[in-house]
Structure 1
């Protein structure tokens, strides 16, 4: 590539980065709409192959997404709200149990000085806050409605998401074809190859890993609730969400579940063994069935890279950066892999027949 063309591409990338940085406060509904359209496009394509028009295929997929959201809002969210309220009420008791039973045992076992941990100030702050209000929903609502303009903007963004996703899903194939038509002809094969690899990585992660997260969240929540763990649903959902990073979900879930189990059941071994068994079974099913079936070995994103990408995106661009983190990380990974292949085949490395 000529030097002038390289500088032109670098300048275009810098302009795009500045554009995203300036406009990132309003990009969230568009990015969520793109994500929904990207996930739903294969379903629409499958319906098209069944002789259904593109518009009606989008309507069917949209109706399915709406049904799932309605079920979540009518069934799951109220149950989670109750468990969050219960956790909020139990916090002082959990701190008491931790301070008076768990930590003294740890101090004796490890030989630490008495009073090494002090929770008095934390307990007083939580208890005082509980005395001020016990209505979490009312507290959140009061914060949201403190500014009518912010509330209107939040509602507008929420209503914008289905509109953006509907039109993008309907015109997805057309937009992809137009973008491909803009690629320089002599570079089309290379660009199509790289985009295909990015699509394979993102598709495997976004579609496959999201299904794995959902399945694990359901298994953990059902298993913990069957044992009788009071906060089983909340911990199961949390563990499922944390499973976006491989092995993080089981670490977070089993840690929180064992703490909640110790607080609820005391030192009884059978409930604690049952809690551990839920996560062992979940990991076995994930490793032998869910991940090979839904994801395969196509992701290629290292867990540390996933964690770093999410944290860096959130630090730089907030919630918008979190939405952009994994796609950008996947693209960078594909480009780095391609540059590694070029280097291995270059004269600098000592190979032959360098490719472009």
Structure 2
């Protein structure tokens, strides 16, 4: 069986891609901050270039890079700080409501379950003791336990702190010289493959751009929807929980799950009635239907062409191989792989027609 020149080239590139994946898997702990910085640089470079062009040469690129990176860090900190009012509100409610909820479960739920043969009895005294021990701790005790946990898991803490410093530094240099890095990478492509390579990267860049823009729109729309829906039910923490749920959807499924757990916890502690479950069922159920059946297919799915099952598989596979970073880059990388698969399929069909 004779292979065409195009098929040999495709096979060579597939081998290179496979070797790159193996190298990434083996060096994942070391490469993680650089991979994250590269993904962020790819997403933020157009904004830096736009500011650079608006300055018409009067604004040094370093100023545009620092401004964009500063705004990005502020957005990340804002997302993180959304958790603080939730915790500040929920901890006192936990101290007050957990013993009461345990009493209600013992007096109301246990007799009902007993009718069906389920014997449930909560040790309310132990629950109250647990609450008094762990939720009534002052800030000094909490800070001391945090320090001790950092000492026990020192390597993890150092890794987190190192990445927190290294990622912004790597991002700065990548944003400064992104075009140079891309140009040097293109020089490695053989001239005879340059046309096919440019066509592939152009299509992949278009797909990734559409994915990023579509995902951002979905996040903003759902943040407004969840905040508004929870507020209509009278939840005090409607805005922080709703906005957090919407913005955390950049991690598919996981972000929605975290927001759902926070909403259930806040609703149960604040309302202490069936209203909490009704609120979560209506707002998050309707939100999931709107996001899954309308927004994501229209704004994201149709643009990158990934089936929902392919999305789930990509998240699990990349998460297994590369951890949390793999979950973040699963869909963008899958979109690029989809472009490659389309081209392989077209090449295979063309070769069959040629040999038929």
TM above 0.5, yes or no, is: yes
- The answer (yes or no) to whether the contact 2:222–2:246 under 8 Å persists in 1 is yes
Pairs aligned (count)? 344
Write the distance in 2 (CA, Å) between the matches of 1:190 and 1:339. Answer: 12
Pair 1:68 & 2:69 matched:
no
Pairing of 1:224-243 with structure 2 (within 5 A)? 224-229=230-235, 232=238, 235-236=241-242, 239-240=245-246, 243=249
Pairing of 1:127-146 with structure 2 (within 5 A)? 128=130, 131-132=133-134, 138=143, 139-146=145-152
Aligned counterpart, 1:174 = 180
Aligned counterpart, 1:23 = 27
- Which secondary structure does the structure 2 equivalent of 1:27 belong to? helix
- Judged with a 3 Å threshold, the aligned counterparts in structure 2 of structure 1 residues 180 and 305 are, in CA distance, closer, same or farther, namely same
Aligned counterpart, 2:63 = 56
Pairing of 1:1-356 with structure 2 (within 5 A)? 9=13, 12-50=16-54, 51=56, 52-72=59-79, 75-83=81-89, 85=91, 89=95, 113-115=117-119, 128=130, 131-132=133-134, 138=143, 139-229=145-235, 232=238, 235-236=241-242, 239-240=245-246, 243-244=249-250, 257=263, 261=267, 265=271, 278=283, 295=300, 297-347=302-352, 351=353
Write the distance in 1 (CA, Å) between the matches of 2:201 and 2:33. Answer: 24
TM-score (norm 2): 0.73
Shift of 1:47: 1.6
Cα deviation, 1:286-307, whole Å, max 9, x if unaligned, reads: 6999769965831222222222
Write the distance in 1 (CA, Å) between the matches of 2:106 and 2:240. Answer: 24
- Judged with a 3 Å threshold, the aligned counterparts in structure 2 of structure 1 residues 227 and 19 are, in CA distance, closer, same or farther, namely same
Write the distance in 2 (CA, Å) between the matches of 1:236 and 1:47. Answer: 31
Write the distance in 1 (CA, Å) between the matches of 2:245 and 2:173. Answer: 34
- Which secondary structure does the structure 2 equivalent of 1:297 belong to? helix
- Judged with a 3 Å threshold, the aligned counterparts in structure 2 of structure 1 residues 70 and 132 are, in CA distance, closer, same or farther, namely closer
Shift of 1:87: 7.5
- The answer (yes or no) to whether the contact 2:10–2:344 under 8 Å persists in 1 is no
Shift of 1:184: 2.0
Shift of 1:159: 0.7
Write the distance in 1 (CA, Å) between the matches of 2:71 and 2:299. Answer: 20
- The answer (yes or no) to whether the contact 1:87–1:231 under 8 Å persists in 2 is no
Alpha carbon RMSD of aligned pairs, Å?
Answer: 4.4
Note the residue ranges of structure 1 that are not aligned, 5 or more in a row: none
Shift of 1:167: 1.1
Write the distance in 2 (CA, Å) between the matches of 1:309 and 1:219. Answer: 27
Write the distance in 1 (CA, Å) between the matches of 2:316 and 2:304. Answer: 19
- Judged with a 3 Å threshold, the aligned counterparts in structure 2 of structure 1 residues 313 and 249 are, in CA distance, closer, same or farther, namely closer
- Judged with a 3 Å threshold, the aligned counterparts in structure 2 of structure 1 residues 327 and 250 are, in CA distance, closer, same or farther, namely closer
- Judged with a 3 Å threshold, the aligned counterparts in structure 2 of structure 1 residues 120 and 198 are, in CA distance, closer, same or farther, namely farther
- Judged with a 3 Å threshold, the aligned counterparts in structure 2 of structure 1 residues 134 and 228 are, in CA distance, closer, same or farther, namely same
- The answer (yes or no) to whether the contact 2:110–2:121 under 8 Å persists in 1 is no
- Which secondary structure does the structure 1 equivalent of 2:52 belong to? helix
- The answer (yes or no) to whether the contact 2:33–2:163 under 8 Å persists in 1 is yes
Write the distance in 2 (CA, Å) between the matches of 1:308 and 1:288. Answer: 19
Write the distance in 2 (CA, Å) between the matches of 1:211 and 1:69. Answer: 17
- The answer (yes or no) to whether the contact 2:36–2:325 under 8 Å persists in 1 is no
- The answer (yes or no) to whether the contact 2:90–2:266 under 8 Å persists in 1 is no
